[in-house]
Amino acid sequence: MNILIAEDDTPSRLMLQSLLVKWGYSVTSAKDGDEAWNYLCEPGHPHLLILDWKMPGIEGPELVKRLREREPEKPYYAIIITSRSNKDSASSALNSGADDFIGKPFDNDELRARVAVGYRMNCLQNALYEHIQDLSQALNRVKRLEGIIPICMYCKKIRDDQNSWNQLEQYISDHSEAMFSHGICPDCIEKQTTIIQQL
């Protein structure tokens, strides 16, 4: 998993990057809040964030707030790191939308454990997000089948959105997961038997 770290103190940033790489993560590194925001505006940006509270440009809590406002449905896990370690700082960080808070100087083992929690949460949130997207698409297919469908009163073909006429089974197959096995109903057996007898 790729983690975005935003830290204006170069030694702290390099130490964080070194630790995360050692623990098996890939890292995108930003020297201030503006650079971090630029990364977060790119497609495929990281969804696990470690942000310094106070840094030039956009500060950590404001980054989280903007991200939540821009993409409220997307799964993110944000950890705020700061030298402020009092209760008010923790509540302010969490109220901004951050998921976790750790004060400087931090213990490496504690940071590793918190990042691991963020990784697990991010994986669960991504799986849930994809599941919701699948359900939404399935619901849209059901709604299409529930609507008014133009059907020919003679041959029973159905007109699709591209104004093409399709066999009934083809239309239903394209808009649902239904599968067909063909058979002959009693009325058609009787008709076909009558036709054969007349030949």
Partnered with residue 4 across adjacent β-strands are: 28, 49
Question: Which pLDDT score is estimated for 54?
Answer: 87
CA-to-CA distance for 141 and 155, rounded, in angstroms? Answer: 24
Question: Which pLDDT score is estimated for 39?
Answer: 92
The secondary structure of 3-29 as a DSSP string is: EEEE-SSHHHHHHHHHHHHHTT-EEEE
The SS3 assignment for 95 reads helix
Question: Which pLDDT score is estimated for 31?
Answer: 93
Averaged over successive runs of 10 residues, the pLDDT of the chain (199 residues) comes to 91 92 93 93 90 90 88 84 67 80 86 92 86 81 68 83 83 75 82 80
Question: Which pLDDT score is estimated for 86?
Answer: 57
Query: pTM, whole model, 2 decimals?
Result: 0.65
CA-to-CA distance for 178 and 163, rounded, in angstroms? Answer: 22
Q: Which fold has domain 2-135?
A: Rossmann fold (3.40.50)
Question: Which pLDDT score is estimated for 147?
Answer: 65
Instruction: Parse the chain into domains and list their residue ranges.
Output: 2-135, 148-198
Cβ partners under 8 Å of residue 157, min gap 6: 151, 165, 166, 167, 168
